[in-house]
Amino acid sequence: MFIQGNGRRLFPVHHVHMAQNRSKKPAELTRTHLREWREFRDITLEAAAPRFGITHGQLSKIERGVSPYNQRLLEAAAKLYGCTIVDLLTRGPDEAQDLFSAYAALDDDGKRQAARLVDALKRPRR
């Protein structure tokens, strides 16, 4: 089958389709800090991957941004690495912890203490 494009010569449909696909760029994957957190916890690819239900080769590709990650992997990695999903996506273990992640890591008593501290900071100074 052939098509005609604006008075130009006829092209096989297959070739037109192929040319269109070549111009598309692959979607860029969001950078993560998965490898940094894994190495910070002294966990090997071979030890971590089975905990996520994948091979160490797949985990390596995810860490390098070659393959996409999913929510299930992020949840399992955060639990194994002792951090939050936000940490895995936004900061390495050597970077300052953001306030929300620090609060999320507190137990109930710690959250009550933090709330009292914030209340005290909101009071007008004399």
First to last CA, the chain: 84
* pTM assigned to the model: 0.61
Nearest Cα neighbor of 34 from 85, 71, 101, 72 is 85
Question: pLDDT by residue for the chain (126 residues), tens digit each?
Answer: 444 555 555 555 455 444 455 545 556 677 899 999 999 999 999 999 999 999 999 999 999 999 999 999 999 999 999 999 989 999 999 887 777 777 888 899 999 999 999 999 888 877
SS (H, E, C) the chain: CEEECCCCCEEEHHHHHHHHHHCCCCCCCCCCCHHHHHHHCCCCHHHHHHHHCCCHHHHHHHHHCCCCCCHHHHHHHHHHHCCCHHHHHHCCCCCCCCHHHHHHCCCHHHHHHHHHHHHHHHCCCC
3 contacts 11 by C-beta, under 8 angstroms: yes
